[in-house]
């Protein structure tokens, strides 16, 4: 649908400072008096449904295969050490190429790239479902990840350029964030059900069927948008940032299975850090950089993305640690454990619908700080878990309340990071948003898993039983999780507040909430 670009709202609308726009040509703005409709048209709702469906499919793929891995390994003859690659083969391209494809979409057409990525993802899912050998299956997973790296930033940039800043975009981001979060949780439940009833291939087959359904209607609903001048791609920047992200994700994914003591883990961590530093140097000297450094220096972008990375990393880690608790300490079946997270998924839908209203009441930056605080407090409450079966109720209640804070944080940081950015830069802005999401999903579990495992080993060496040692490791991981979320919430809130005060001193707008 045609996109109308409107000026950024006053700070009071979203709680964000009216930051100066990022340099770059963009469409002319309409007069400030032009009203922004709060209600979506029927066509806009269909576009939102389409884009959210695509994001939901990708979110499912992050977790739907986890439960099926043992059965998959036996069927394809993959050893325990090789099963890690079923996850890593997807995580590497899906996280490593996000920024590059987000920028390519800005320059050469978001609709075109979105459809290409969706077609690639669908074909790769079918290939993985029909795989006759480990090599073919892993190739399908890698192509799925590459397709996801196209779909996620282009879908988000289509969303933010379709819905203008204010109530419409906040509502759209609320629904999108809800489906992204619930997709990860539902994937865990659906993977178990499909594997038990139809076999592991059905977990990949359902993604192919869903991709075909979305691909069938997408061309009729989406219209093209791109940068008007098509500047050249910054090749050195693309190589360094993609290489750095690939090295970082490989190291962390490998550490989740083999630990940080494996020699290639620290080597690739250092390589990733060196490449990302080189990327910063390249971008500071490039005439047409892949990532605008002034954009990265904006407090809204820096603090917003940091908060987004942490809320995703730490919530995914909570789910992982609680899965261990329910199955290894309380000895619940995979199906019953899935039901516990299913309750969280249901309430996440409500949380996502409420999030735009919360932002309207208190502003995006306060909603972000509140969401992180709720998530931290509820995670800390899980330190009360014990070996009694009553721990199921504490786990269910605490994660259900935490999902409200988590969804408020997700939607708020999306609003904060994309507000005030011209349409010509939305692919880059949403590429940064989705990079924070994907890296968060990749980083949180291996970091806290390694911490918990070290604690379990130490307790076992001291003579503790298996259940008590496992519980001790889980508690340490949950405590570190809560502390990290709280540690980011405080400076993020302070940094965004300072940015808001500086912005008010330069404008005649009403004070931010």
pLDDT at residue 130 greater than cutoff 80: yes
pLDDT at 426: 56
pLDDT at 442: 66
Measured between alpha carbons, how far is 493 from 303 in angstroms, rounded to an integer?
A: 8
pLDDT digit string, tens, across residues 367-418: 888 999 999 999 999 999 888 888 889 988 998 898 888 888 888 887 777 6
pLDDT at 268: 86
pLDDT digit string, tens, across residues 142-185: 899 889 888 887 887 777 777 766 677 667 776 776 666 667 66
- b/e for 36-60, b at 16 or more Cβ within 10 A? beeebeeebeebbebbbbbbbbbbb
pLDDT at 66: 67
pLDDT at residue 239 greater than cutoff 70: yes
Higher pLDDT, 127 or 416: 127
| Residue 328 CA: distances (Å) to CA of 72, 144, 445 | 22, 31, 17
Residue 512 in contact with residue 504, Cβ under 8 Å? yes
Mean pLDDT of the chain: 75
pLDDT at 14: 39
- b/e for 7-25, b at 16 or more Cβ within 10 A? bbbbbebbbbbbbebbebe
How wide is the angle at C-alpha 263 spanned by C-alphas 259 and 267, nearest 5°?
A: 105
| Residue 397 CA: distances (Å) to CA of 157, 161, 401 | 35, 37, 6
Topology match between the domains 42-92+106-224 and 298-497: yes
* Contacts with 51 (C-beta within 8 Å, 6 or more apart), sequence order: 155, 158, 159, 162, 176
| 507 CB neighbour count, 10 Å cutoff | 12
Where is mean pLDDT largest: 78-82, 282-286, 434-438?
Answer: 282-286
Average pLDDT over residues 351-376: 84
Where is mean pLDDT largest: 85-89, 142-146, 451-455, 489-493?
Answer: 142-146
Residue 488 in contact with residue 306, Cβ under 8 Å? yes
Measured between alpha carbons, how far is 291 from 433 in angstroms, rounded to an integer?
A: 13
The model's confidence at residue 15, banded by pLDDT at 50, 70 and 90, is very low
In the CATH scheme, what architecture does the domain 298-497 have? Up-down Bundle (1.20)
| Per-domain residue ranges of the chain | 42-92+106-224, 234-289, 298-497
| CATH class of domain segment(s) 42-92+106-224 | mainly alpha
Largest CA distance in the chain: 72
pLDDT at 250: 78
pLDDT at 36: 47
Higher pLDDT, 74 or 173: 74
pLDDT at residue 132 greater than cutoff 80: yes
DSSP characters over 86-113: HHHHHHHHHHHTHHHHHHHHHHH-HHHH
The model's confidence at residue 424, banded by pLDDT at 50, 70 and 90, is low
pLDDT at residue 73 greater than cutoff 70: yes
The model's confidence at residue 481, banded by pLDDT at 50, 70 and 90, is very high
Average pLDDT over residues 63-88: 72
Where is mean pLDDT largest: 16-25, 141-150, 278-287, 343-352?
Answer: 141-150
């Amino acid at each position: 649908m045609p996109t109308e670009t409107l000026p950024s709202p006053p700070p009071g609308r979203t709680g964000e400072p009216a930051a100066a726009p990022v340099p770059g040509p963009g469409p002319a703005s309409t007069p400030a008096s032009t009203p922004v409709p709060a209600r979506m048209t029927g066509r806009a709702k269909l576009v939102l449904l389409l884009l959210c469906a695509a994001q939901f499919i990708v979110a499912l793929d992050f977790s739907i295969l986890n439960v099926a891995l043992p059965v998959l390994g036996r069927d394809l003859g993959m050893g325990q050490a090789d099963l890690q690659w079923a996850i890593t083969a997807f995580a590497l391209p899906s996280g490593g190429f996000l920024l590059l494809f987000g920028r390519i979409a800005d320059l050469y057409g978001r609709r075109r790239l979105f459809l290409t990525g969706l077609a690639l993802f669908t074909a790769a899912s079918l290939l993985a479902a029909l795989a006759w050998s480990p090599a073919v299956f892993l190739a399908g997973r890698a192509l799925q990840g590459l397709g996801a790296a196209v779909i996620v930033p282009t879908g988000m940039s289509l969303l933010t350029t379709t819905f203008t800043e204010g109530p419409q975009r906040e509502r759209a981001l609320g629904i999108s964030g809800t489906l992204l979060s619930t997709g990860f949780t539902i994937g865990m439940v659906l993977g178990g059900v499909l594997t038990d009833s139809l076999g592991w291939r059905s977990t990949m087959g359902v993604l192919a069927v869903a991709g075909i359904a979305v691909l069938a209607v997408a061309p009729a609903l989406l219209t093209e948008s791109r940068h008007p001048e098509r500047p050249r791609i910054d090749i050195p920047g693309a190589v360094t940032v993609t290489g750095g992200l690939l090295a970082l994700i490989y190291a962390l994914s490998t550490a989740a299975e083999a630990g940080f003591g494996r020699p290639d883990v620290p080597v690739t961590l250092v390589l990733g850090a060196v490449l990302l530093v080189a990327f910063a140097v390249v971008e500071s000297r490039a005439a047409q950089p892949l990532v605008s450094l002034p954009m990265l220096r904006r407090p809204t972008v820096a603090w917003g993305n940091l908060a987004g990375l942490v809320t995703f990393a730490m919530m995914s880690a909570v789910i992982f640690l609680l899965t261990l608790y329910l199955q290894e300490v309380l000895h619940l079946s995979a199906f019953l454990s899935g039901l516990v997270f299913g309750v969280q998924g249901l309430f996440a839908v409500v949380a996502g619908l409420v999030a735009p209203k919360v932002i309207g009441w208190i502003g995006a930056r306060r909603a972000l700080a509140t969401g992180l605080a709720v998530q931290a407090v509820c995670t800390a409450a899980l330190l009360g878990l014990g070996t009694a079966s009553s721990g199921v109720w504490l786990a269910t209640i605490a994660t259900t309340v935490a999902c409200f804070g988590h969804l408020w944080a997700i939607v708020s940081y999306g609003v904060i990071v994309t507000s005030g950015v011209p349409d010509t830069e939305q692919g880059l802005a949403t590429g940064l948003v989705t990079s924070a999401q994907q890296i968060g999903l990749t980083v949180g579990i291996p970091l806290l898993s390694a911490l918990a495992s070290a604690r379990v080993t130490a307790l076992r060496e001291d003579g503790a039983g298996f259940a008590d040692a496992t519980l001790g490791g889980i508690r340490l991981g949950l405590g570190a999780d809560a502390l990290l979320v709280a540690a980011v919430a405080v400076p993020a809130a302070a940094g965004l507040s300072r940015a808001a005060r500086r912005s008010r001193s330069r404008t005649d707008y009403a004070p931010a909430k």
